[in-house]
Amino acid sequence: MPVHFTDRLQVVNDATDGPIPYHPYTIQRGDGSEEHGVTDASGFTHTVSSHLAETIKLFVE
């Protein structure tokens, strides 16, 4: 059975530790490709999925 990795990240305010809703971000995948989005009402990004483990970077705009 193949392994599948999924994750989403929550963007939070350093001062309040509260989520930052509806904020633009960019996720850079392990292969260098970029995915752009806006956090949801709870400050979460979209779900990132891969069949291989990879390091991703989150840039908050």
pLDDT at 30 over 70: yes
Q: How far apart are CA 33 and CA 60, in angstroms?
A: 16
**Which of the four pLDDT bands, split at 50, 70 and 90, describes residue 61?**
confident
Question: 7-27 pLDDT, tens per residue?
Answer: 999 999 999 999 999 999 999
- Cβ(29)–Cβ(46) under 8 Å? no
Q: What is the pLDDT of residue 10?
A: 98
Residue 13 is predicted with a pLDDT of 97
What is the secondary structure of the chain as a DSSP string? Answer: ----EEE--B-B-TTT--B-TT-EEEEE-TTS-EEEEE--TTSB-PPEEESS----EEEE-
CB atoms within 10 A of CB 45: 22
pTM above 0.85, yes or no: yes
Structurally, the chain folds into a number of domains equal to 1
Which residue segment(s) compose the domain that 54 sits in? 5-60
